[in-house]
Structure 1
Amino acid sequence: MADQVFVTLATTDKYAKGAMVLGKSLRNHNTSKKLVALIGPHVSEPSRAVLHKIYDEVRLVDVLDSRDAAHLAMMKRPDLGVTFTKLHCWTLTDYSKCVFMDADTLVLSNIDELFEREELSAAPDPGWPDCFNSGVFVFRPSNETYGKLITACSEGGSFDGGDQGVLNSFFSDWATADISKHLPFIYNLSSIAIYTYLPAFKQYGHDAKVVHFLGKVKPWDYSFDTASKTVKGQSHDADMHPNYLLQWWELFSSSVLALMKEEYGDQPFYSGCTEGDIHVDVGQMHLSHPPSPPMSSQERKQKWEQGQADYMGMDSFDNIEKKLDSFLK
């Protein structure tokens, strides 16, 4: 239907890069829906121009605009600025139903069937499954709902300091009222959860439709060698599966990078792509990173307890899988 759209938000050029890849992934999997990108005032003109080439509509949202209903609430809670920006998606009243997707998500197959769900449909958060993760959710634009959300946000704040806390408090019956509003986890597969419950990922991971790069380190924080098809950097801080990370960079380098070069021209911009001199077949893609000094078993244990496992090295998915298979046998 013409009035149903996928929506994302980019408040910086880095997140705009994520939105570009997300948009391309939706297009590549033949979505029949329109795409809308909400952008903040700090997104540069060249990045906006690239988004215009991928999205049907690019709309500027600014919570500091005095004409905005959020402005007065901002005076009380300036710490929730980015949260207010995301809530603007409810003002898209030209459309009847929308699916919001964070800019750090990647679509792996067609997901148009999400529009059969009702507000507020979302997948459980791996950290607290009675809460939904706000990286992917189905909603109906409404100025009335927007106003109520702004009021709730300004009066009650957010229990996690962001939009997820606000939305879970507002849609507080999500966990108990209607099971049809619980999206399967494959529509918002957390890269962190892959490692916390590896057997389930082995069983169901091949059905994943959306991967969500949660955490401080994002795909665009790495660099990609276009010749050797390898991703480099951030070896100790990443919680994402190497194959998904490679898919993100492959799509960026093949479909987004040229668009950025067209718009930036002679202006400098950092793409994260480098040209190498070693060719590796696509079927042999792998992650590479500088070697790390050996770590004692006690140090490894402390790292695990602090949530700092070496997911790209000794604690990689392949190594964990081998250890698990050995244990089960």
Structure 2
Amino acid sequence: MAASQVQDEAFVTLATNDSYSYGALVLAHSLRAVGTTRKLAILITPNVTSRMRQLLSDVFDSITQVDPLDSHDEANLALLTRPELGITFSKLHCWRLTQYNKCVFMDADALVLQNIDDLFEREELSAATDCGWPDCFNSGVFVFRPSEETYRGLLQCAVTQGSFDGGDQGLLNTYFSDWATKDISRHLPFIYNMTSSRAYSYLPAFVRYGDQVKVVHFIGIAKPWQFTYDTSSGMVLPHESMSSHHELTFIQAWWDIFVARVKPKLEAAQTAQTMSSELGKLKLLSTATPPSSPTEPGVPAHPVDSRTRQFQWEQGQIDYLGEDRFENIKKKLDEKINNGP
């Protein structure tokens, strides 16, 4: 017998346009698939079309339109080379969902692989460390308690102190400045917000603990819905400018849910061709299109010396589809373990 739904707790996400609504739809279906007993709530801005709102209403328990909050902090956003992140200040509206006692916020570019209802046993503000600076938390997944007082405090903090990165993460880390040292129980394990970016990954740990991952977070500019999906083979095609950023296994998992749960609704509503141009980024091929490659897998098109390869690794430019692919790295690790230095 299925557990009854908890009425005063919810998973919350945000969609600022139709493209991120695709992510929100897949996120919601992934939560349903793992048997969550919590409500699903979404915040949307006016840029989300009415057709998309209908699709969202089919899977979310509540939809709340909010006015965009933009940091207007061009100098700090320039440090991230991500000026679009200013709109993520709209995330602060999640503290106004006071019909709930406790919530878990999740970015729309996240994917749930295992049940995470145990997060509701945590207290505000619980979050996982950010890979780039572990004394800061990543704001893609966090536990919070809705409160008008906290909302006003965050706005005041934004006015008086601002955000050191121009986005919501810098502001939230400023407001909850004692997160790193106050209470270790509010540090979520990495498996609740695992960065899918290969450049950030500690590969041996991924090999050891990867099957325990509960949430995958597709940080960065490249998002799952920007990859090409071949409907004939049912496979995601590697993207020469994006595939090195994310583990394709998780991109495939995202698309598997999209094709099974979201695409049929689009087709039934006959909106696949009539929705906003923003959604034209979806790439669905009816016939397999093999990725162009001038060489055999694992053989670099332009051989490079060891110093150049080291520099590329340090810059996060790793050829995971070629010489630096998983099998070769694992082989090297095994050799070192078995043979010693």
TM-score, normalized by length of structure 2?
0.85
In 1, distance between residues paired with 2:171 and 2:186? 18
CA contact (8 A) 2:95 2:150 kept: yes
Residue 256, structure 1, aligned to residue 262, structure 2: yes
Worse-superposed segment, 76-85 or 88-97: 76-85
Residues 193 and 158 from structure 1, CA distance in 2 versus in 1: closer, same or farther, beyond 3 angstroms?
Answer: farther
Aligned to 1:275: 286
Residue 196, structure 1, aligned to residue 201, structure 2: yes
Matches within 5 A, 1:176-255: 176-192=181-197, 196-237=201-242, 238-255=244-261
Corresponding letter in the other structure for 2:304: S
In 1, distance between residues paired with 2:107 and 2:321? 24
Give the C-alpha shift of residue 228 in structure 1.
1.1
Worse-superposed segment, 238-247 or 311-320: 311-320
Residue 296, structure 1, aligned to residue 304, structure 2: yes
Aligned to 2:95: 90
In 2, distance between residues paired with 1:265 and 1:274? 14
Aligned to 1:314: 323
Give the C-alpha shift of residue 243 in structure 1.
1.1
In 2, distance between residues paired with 1:319 and 1:33? 42
In 1, distance between residues paired with 2:265 and 2:326? 33
Matches within 5 A, 1:50-199: 50-63=55-68, 81-192=86-197, 196-199=201-204
Give the C-alpha shift of residue 203 in structure 1.
1.4
Q: Deviations over 1:28-56 (max 9, x none)?
A: 11110110111111112221111111111
State, as a whole percentage, how many aligned pairs show the same letter: 50
Corresponding letter in the other structure for 1:273: L
In 1, distance between residues paired with 2:261 and 2:327? 29
Corresponding letter in the other structure for 2:26: V
CA contact (8 A) 1:239 1:311 kept: no
Worse-superposed segment, 74-83 or 239-248: 74-83
Residues 82 and 199 from structure 1, CA distance in 2 versus in 1: closer, same or farther, beyond 3 angstroms?
Answer: same
In 2, distance between residues paired with 1:265 and 1:98? 33
Aligned to 1:39: 44
Q: Deviations over 1:132-190 (max 9, x none)?
A: 11000000000110001011012211111211111111101111111111111110011
SS at 1:3 equivalent: strand
* Structure 1 residues without counterparts, runs of 5 or longer: 64-69, 279-287
Residues 291 and 101 from structure 1, CA distance in 2 versus in 1: closer, same or farther, beyond 3 angstroms?
Answer: same
Cα RMSD, aligned residues only: 2.4
Residues 307 and 95 from structure 1, CA distance in 2 versus in 1: closer, same or farther, beyond 3 angstroms?
Answer: same
Corresponding letter in the other structure for 2:211: H
In 1, distance between residues paired with 2:105 and 2:167? 16
Give the C-alpha shift of residue 274 in structure 1.
1.9
Give the C-alpha shift of residue 208 in structure 1.
0.5
In 2, distance between residues paired with 1:253 and 1:93? 34
Corresponding letter in the other structure for 1:106: L
Worse-superposed segment, 236-245 or 33-42: 236-245
SS at 1:211 equivalent: strand
Corresponding letter in the other structure for 1:180: S
SS at 2:188 equivalent: coil
Residues 319 and 14 from structure 1, CA distance in 2 versus in 1: closer, same or farther, beyond 3 angstroms?
Answer: farther
Corresponding letter in the other structure for 2:337: L
SS at 1:25 equivalent: helix
CA contact (8 A) 1:235 1:311 kept: no
Corresponding letter in the other structure for 2:302: P
Residues 245 and 265 from structure 1, CA distance in 2 versus in 1: closer, same or farther, beyond 3 angstroms?
Answer: closer
Give the C-alpha shift of residue 300 in structure 1.
3.4
Residue 5, structure 1, aligned to residue 5, structure 2: no
Aligned to 2:80: none
Corresponding letter in the other structure for 1:89: C
* Structure 2 residues without counterparts, runs of 5 or longer: 1-5, 78-82, 295-300
Corresponding letter in the other structure for 1:324: L
Give the C-alpha shift of residue 195 in structure 1.
5.5
In 2, distance between residues paired with 1:171 and 1:10? 24
CA contact (8 A) 1:120 1:181 kept: yes
Residues 76 and 186 from structure 1, CA distance in 2 versus in 1: closer, same or farther, beyond 3 angstroms?
Answer: closer
